[in-house]
Amino acid sequence: MKTVFRRPESLANVATHYCPGCTHGVIHRLIAEAIDELGLRERTVGIAPVGCSVLAFNYFNFDFQEAAHGRAPAVATGIKRGRPDLIVFTYQGDGDLASIGMAEIVHAANRGEKFTVVFVNNAIYGMTGGQMAPTTMPGQVTTTSPAGRDVNLVGYPIRMCELLASLRTPGFIERVAVHHPKYIARAKRAIKQAFKYQAENRCFSFVECLSTCPTNWGLSPLKACKWLEENMMPYYPVKNFKTPEEVGSNSQALATDEPRRPSAAPVREPAARNHGEASHAG
């Protein structure tokens, strides 16, 4: 009998702790499939965050390292710089990456660290009880915004892809969704491409996955998928924001705003002898 579907070798054969309808499991599988298809499993190291996916190291069949809250990019930087031959990726939620870890991810992207980031955006803090996150939608009710997110008080949701794509350093930046099969296929291609760029030592790569959190949204899994499509996708468009090839093709245009080096310090003429020295010499 021909096998047409099986568990990826990079995915451990265990049950997960995720809530029914949560899309972490879908993203885990896409990562495992991409690693297997690229033949990278034996040299892959994942970095687990603090958040719902804090136990991600239990669900993959390759090495993993746990990081302090928001510090996954720093840990990935150390591992990748120490062992450039390894394939290193961080797996982070919106609270971990876009709140306490904001400085970490911005500077890692700006340095062009050659590891991969899989960013899970479900618009809420999941593990700690559904508090407002940096990515919570305007008007969205959470346990810390019972009247809905008021943008006049706390600002608008942060769009990480748009922010990181504005950096001049070459990189691969793409936003995908995982709530429907037609979007999952695209998400698989983006995640695989991100790892491929790293395997080629090309650039920093970042894939944001729009995801559901039925438990903390107070919706059924099916209604959560519909809520994501109607509320999150108009604000967080699914698209590619940056590739290293595009940056390369624009290198000439970018050169026009290359900051000018300061000119060398002017050479000063030797000071003339003062009158007293001249008199002494004579």
Q: Read off the pLDDT of residues 137-183 as tens digits, 9 standing for 90 and up.
A: 999 999 999 999 999 999 999 999 999 999 999 999 999 999 999 99
**How far is the C-alpha of 166 from the C-alpha of 173, rounded, in Å?**
10
**How far is the C-alpha of 225 from the C-alpha of 230, rounded, in Å?**
9
pLDDT tens-digit profile, the chain (282 residues) = 888 889 999 999 999 999 999 999 999 999 999 999 999 999 999 999 999 999 999 999 999 999 999 999 999 999 999 999 999 999 999 999 999 999 999 999 999 999 999 999 999 999 888 999 999 999 999 999 999 999 999 999 999 999 999 999 999 999 999 999 999 999 999 999 999 999 999 999 999 999 999 999 999 999 999 999 999 999 999 999 999 988 655 544 454 455 555 444 444 554 544 444 444 433
Strands 240-242 and 171-177 turn out to be antiparallel
At a CB cut-off of 8 Å and minimum separation 6, what does 272 contact? none
Encoding tokens for residue 176? 């995908």
Q: Read off the pLDDT of residues 261-275 as tens digits, 9 standing for 90 and up.
A: 544 444 455 454 444
Which among 98, 122, 93 has a CA at the least distance from the CA of 225? 122
Q: How far is CA 228 from CA 174, 190, 263, in A?
A: 18, 20, 54
β-bridge mates for residue 48, sequence order = 66
How remote is the C-alpha of 24 from its chain's centroid?
Answer: 15
Looking at residue 4, what is its pLDDT?
Answer: 87
Which among 86, 88, 63 has a CA at the least distance from the CA of 75? 88
Helices (H) and strands (E) in the chain, counts: 13, 7
Handedness of CA 224, 229, 234, 239 (dihedral sign): positive
Encoding tokens for residue 33? 């499939």
**pTM for the structure as a whole:** 0.88
